[in-house]
Amino acid sequence: MPAVKEIDRIDALEKVLGATLYAGDMYIEGMLYGVIVRSTRPHATISKINIKEAQYLEGVVKILSCNDIPGKKEFGIIKKDQSLLAEKKVRYVGEPVLVVVAETERLARKAAELIQIEYDDIISIHDPFTSEKAPVLIHGSGNLLSHRTVLKGDVQKGFRQSDVIVEHTYRTTWLDHAFLETEAGIGYMDNTGKLVILTSTQNVHYKRKEISRILGLPEENIRVIQATTGGGFGGKLDMTVECYVALAVYHTKKPVMIRFTREESFLSDTKRHPLYIEYKTGARRDGKIQAVEVNIIGDTGPYISYGETVCLRAAIHATGPYEVPNVHVDSRMFYTNNPISGAMRGFGVPQIAFAHESQMDEIAYALKLDPLHVRMINGLKKGSRTATSQILEASAGYIETLKRLEPYWQGRKKLKGRGFGLGSMFYGIGNTGITNPSYAHLSIAENGKIALHTGVCEIGQGSDTVLLQILCESLGVDDKNVELIRGDTDTSKDAGSTSASRQTYISGMAIYNASIKMREFLDKEEYYKGRGLKDIFLTYKEKGVPVFEGFFDPPTTALDPETSEGKPYATYAFATHMTEVEVDEITGYTKVLKVYAAHDVGKAINVRNIKGQVYGGIAMGIGFALMEEFRPGETHSLDAYYIPTSMDMPDVEVFIIEDEEPTGPFGAKGVGEPALIPQAASIVNAIKDAVDVRPFELPCHIERLKGLIESKTSK
């Protein structure tokens, strides 16, 4: 396949100049503002709501409750289990109860403060371990949301064959996406009577479905447009403001804006699932892994969101990028009255990578083998059988990621207080074992440009640019001759969510598919012999310009409900990071000095975008490893939620490996989540190398690490 011609990011200049408008910057004459009134209790029934004082405040237009919902009252991205506005019961601090709509935002906030809600508290559950046997049920059906297993071979036999067994427990906590732009949306009725919502989101078509359900209106009457989105990381997949804005517009017939403060965002945004991971690995003397047994306990909060997805994805990825003959994984997700956990860059895999990479190093230490060597001899490659018994047929560049880093690894020079660590990962691109198609279509616009219609949401990762490149390359046109029309339910078909690192691969392929058809047409119309697009347009203007539909759905199979056997993903990305840290043993402060990051992306469509993702992933991985910790009830804003700054960024060297994926556009896979996944693991292993203590709980922040070092020396 040819290299794809690179173009500059199409949104870069406008963003650098600060000229880009986000949803919260929009203004429409006469617009109203909505503010959500939220539960202050983790688990309670609502006994009384007093809105009198708020209602009569001048400028307050409406106060909406669950009784004002004309359609279905529940929503949810996987299952409809969450009340849009609480009816009788609240199940977490921050659960929406009412929406105040007023002439100004200030008034709406003031009115919201004047509303009194009385509660009868119910025993609340905050620990997934006691959840199953707790005397109260958060929902009727029991407090276990999901239990998945991955079975391969015979683990007992595998452990019997092992010369060494290491067994540890790993823990992670809640993280917030902390996107720069908090959740925001604006809605209005257009002059055809359609309800239009402009919102910061990762998925316009899903949002339209939810609004349609909630309002009891057909989808044709609703239009969802993606506003420029300042980061998502999974936090803008679930419904955030959209249905509330829609409900307010529905009732007031006026434009309405809702935008969250950082505090509201922290309170309501779904979090990364805290996972508790018991991990046992057995290996032969030569380092060959014989068996892996894993028990995962997760806390999903009171509603499903992506709880089942994370439960399954963590289980499938539990063995990491290694071929393990005997596997037994149990993964359970429990309900609690803690914050809702949902999608966050990697869906449980960054957590599990922390565990399996710590284990790999422990095996290497126990056997006095080189950690890179142990990874090498166990690594997945073409022809390997994964834990779900999928045979990797192509594009399995894991070993290559190790080989690329090997010279640096072998040449590393350990200075005092410093250490090096490796972290590897594999990651299934797209949704797990279910259909997750993307559609796109192409045509010629009146202005003589090729119109690319796609439902893909650009959330800062660069999909606009990459999709354009794929189109230009496969069609043989210049990007100046293309008009990108995206992220709008009126002008595009469903491309699925911008999540699971799937858009370059799946929507890229859908566009590729459409352009193959269009190419034939253009060829016939002698475009490639020099005929202009405008001319072709005029020929077809009367009888209608043809539309070229593109479609791709990666070939996966449903998984066996007991063993998870099957083909959950059509392709996997692979990566290894090597990190050097410096640890101040006396204070516990860790500085990340240098990261070498090797990624098998299938094919690099845009090298700068890939590097951008890797840099960002490393920053997020530093946060996950060393400082980020959302504490329910204590973390209210960025004041006490530490995300790394540019000053905390290490030097980064990126190595791109192109083991082409035959089903992907030009061989491409994805890199969005893979960029983050191995980073925390590599830091933890580097800390162990530096100061000979192993963190089992993240974040391994300054004080926690000091404690670990201290307990080592006092032994």
Partner 1 sequence: MLLLPKFDYYEPKELTEACRLLSETGSKAKIIAGGTDILVNMKKGLISPKVLVSLGRISRLSEVERMNKSITIGSHLIIAKLAEFDLIRKRFSILASAAKVLGSPLVRNRATIGGNIVTARPAADLPPVLMALGAKVKLKSRRSEREVALDDFFIGPGATVIKPDEILTRVIIPETPSYTGGHYIKLGHRKALEIAIVAVASKITLNKPDGVIKDAKIVLSAVAPKAVHAKSAEEVLIGEKPSAKLFEEAASLAMNDCKPITDIRGGVDYRQAMVEILTRRTLSFAWKEAKKGKKQ
Which residues bind to partner 1, rule: CB under 8 A? 24, 105-106, 109, 182, 259, 261-263, 586-587, 589, 626-627, 631, 634-635, 639-640, 642, 644-648, 701-703, 706-707
315 vs 592, beta carbon nearer partner 1: 592
Name the helix (H) or strand (E) containing 548: strand 548-552
> Between residues 22 and 408, which has the closer beta carbon with respect to partner 1?
22
* Between 400 and 580, CB nearer to partner 1: 580
Amino acid (one-letter) located at 527 = Y
For partner 1, give the closer residue by CB, 515 or 635: 635
In DSSP terms, which residues pair with 37 in a beta bridge? Answer: 98
What CA–CA distance (Å, rounded) separates 100 from 360? 53
Measured between alpha carbons, how far is 77 from 235 in angstroms, rounded to an integer?
12
How many helices (H) does the chain have, and how many strands (E)?
A: 18, 25
- Distance from C-alpha of 491 to C-alpha of 28, rounded to nearest angstrom: 23
Closer by beta carbon to partner 1, 542 or else 639: 639
Closest CB 226 distance from partner 1, rounded Å: 21
Closest approach, Cβ 276 to partner 1, in A, equals: 23
User: Under the phi-then-psi rule, with left for phi > 0, alpha for psi from -120 to 50, and beta for the rest, what region is 231?
Assistant: left
- Measured distance CA(214)–CA(199) in Å, rounded: 17
Nearer to partner 1, 105 or 483 (CB): 105
Considering only CA atoms, which of 84, 260, 78 is closest in space to residue 177?
A: 260
* Adjacent-strand bridge partners of 341: 271
Name, in order, each residue with C-beta under 8 angstroms of 593's C-beta and a sequence gap of 6 or more. 418, 580, 581, 582, 650, 651
- Phi, psi angle pair for 379, to nearest 5°: -60, 145
Rounded distance between C-alpha atoms, residue 592 and residue 377, angstroms: 28
CA atoms within 13 A on the CB side of 609: 27
Determine how many CB atoms are found less than 10 A away from the CB of residue 371: 22
Task: Say if CB 514 and CB 451 are below 8 A apart.
Answer: no
- The CA distance from 580 to 96, in Å, is 45
Q: Give the DSSP letter string of 138-168.
A: SSTT-SEEEEEEEEES-HHHHHHT-SEEEEE
Handedness of CA 126, 130, 136, 138 (dihedral sign): positive
Least distance in angstroms from the C-beta of 649 to partner 1: 9
Burial of 413 (0-12, 13-18, 19+ CB in 10 A): exposed
Smaller CB distance to partner 1: residue 427 or 630? 630
For every residue of 352-400, which 3-state class applies, written as one string? HHHHHHHHHHHHHHHHCCCHHHHHHHHECCCCCECCCCCECCCCCCHHH
**Residue 375, phi-psi category: left (phi > 0), alpha (psi -120 to 50), beta (remainder):** alpha
3-state secondary structure of 98: strand
Q: How far apart are CA 483 and CA 234, in angstroms?
A: 28
Q: Choose between 194 and 704: whose C-beta lies nearer to partner 1.
A: 704
Which residue, 445 or 638, is less far from partner 1 as judged by CB?
Answer: 638
Written as six digits, the tokens of 33 are 């503002």
Residue whose entry in the numeric block shows the structure tokens 């316009």:
204
Provide the 3-class DSSP secondary structure of residue 412: coil
Q: In the bound complex, what is the minimum distance in angstroms from residue 19's beta carbon to partner 1? A: 19
Residue 481 in 3-state DSSP? helix
Tell me whether residue 568 or residue 699 sits nearer to partner 1 (CB atom). Answer: 699
